[in-house]
């Protein structure tokens, strides 16, 4: 905690005074560009990866970057998605997985999670990705895990489309969906192309969309 507190003191004494006008503006309101749904993993730092300022990204983080399908008893993810789309009027939602994901490792390896009942229940929302993943043959465990990370991003985008606010915004043409996978070691992102149903390098396909109706 000492390093964390010292970091705050550095922010308060050195960073904040230099960005005073920005923080004054943010104190009154926010107008984020996009909603990111990413994993809680400490290695995934969205503002660093995308070089965005405070106030630019609205963020949901959880184990496995999961979006439960819309249901009669909405939870925190559902409420946050609804607020982002209906109130903040974000124009883009990005579901982002990452390499070496612990949640996906547990699913891929079929690890028993009896001692983690909440985690076990939560990861059931990735059952569709698990089913797709298990239907294929793989040359190694690493290959299987990498495929599952990608499969899970696609599955969560499908879940996202079941949310009424998302469905309405898509119908009105004011929302785009994106599926990204961040590979930590080389520092690259692959993006899901809804037209070809494949992942492509984001650096070479900057306009790619997870929606089949969009052309990347």
- Is residue 49 located within the same domain as residue 139? yes
Mean pLDDT, residues 124-140 taken together: 95
The domain of 17 spans: 1-29
Give a yes or no: residue 214 inside a domain: no
57 secondary structure, DSSP code: E
Whether 41 has a binding-site annotation, put simply, is: yes
Q: How far is CA 152 from CA 128, 158, 194, in A?
A: 8, 10, 14
- Is residue 61 located within the same domain as residue 132? yes
Whether 98 has a binding-site annotation, put simply, is: yes
Q: Is 142 a catalytic residue?
A: no
Each residue of 52-111: pLDDT tens digit? 999 999 999 999 999 999 988 889 999 999 999 999 999 999 999 999 999 999 999 888
Q: Is 101 a catalytic residue?
A: yes
Predicted confidence at residue 213, as pLDDT, reads: 63
- Take residue 44 and report the two structure tokens written for it: 């995934």
Q: DSSP readout, 155-190?
A: HHHHHHTTSHHHHHHHHTT--EEEEEEEETTTTEEE
pTM of the model: 0.94
Whether 163 has a binding-site annotation, put simply, is: no
Q: Is 98 a catalytic residue?
A: yes
- Is residue 3 located within the same domain as residue 87? no
Give a yes or no: residue 215 inside a domain: no
- Is residue 105 located within the same domain as residue 187? yes
- Is residue 16 located within the same domain as residue 36? no
């Amino acid at each position: 905690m000492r390093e964390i507190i010292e970091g705050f003191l550095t922010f308060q004494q050195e960073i904040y005074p230099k960005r005073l006008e920005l923080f004054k503006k943010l104190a009154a309101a926010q107008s984020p560009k996009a909603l990111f749904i990413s994993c809680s993993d400490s290695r995934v730092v969205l503002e660093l990866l995308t070089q965005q300022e405070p106030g630019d990204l609205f963020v949901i983080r959880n184990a496995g970057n999961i979006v439960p399908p819309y249901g009669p008893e909405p939870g925190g993810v559902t409420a946050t998605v609804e607020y982002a789309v209906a109130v903040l009027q974000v124009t883009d939602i990005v579901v982002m997985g990452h390499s070496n994901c612990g949640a996906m490792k547990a699913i891929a390896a079929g690890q028993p999670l009896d001692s983690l009942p909440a985690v076990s229940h939560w990861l059931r929302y990735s059952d569709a990705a698990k089913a797709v993943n298990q239907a294929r043959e793989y040359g190694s465990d690493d290959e299987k895990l990498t495929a599952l990370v990608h499969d899970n991003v696609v599955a969560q985008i499908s879940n996202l489309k079941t949310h009424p606010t998302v469905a309405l915004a898509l119908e009105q043409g004011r929302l785009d969906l994106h599926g990204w996978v961040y590979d930590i070691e080389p520092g690259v992102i692959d993006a899901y192309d809804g037209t070809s149903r494949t992942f492509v390098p984001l650096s070479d396909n900057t306009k790619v969309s997870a929606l089949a109706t969009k052309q990347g």
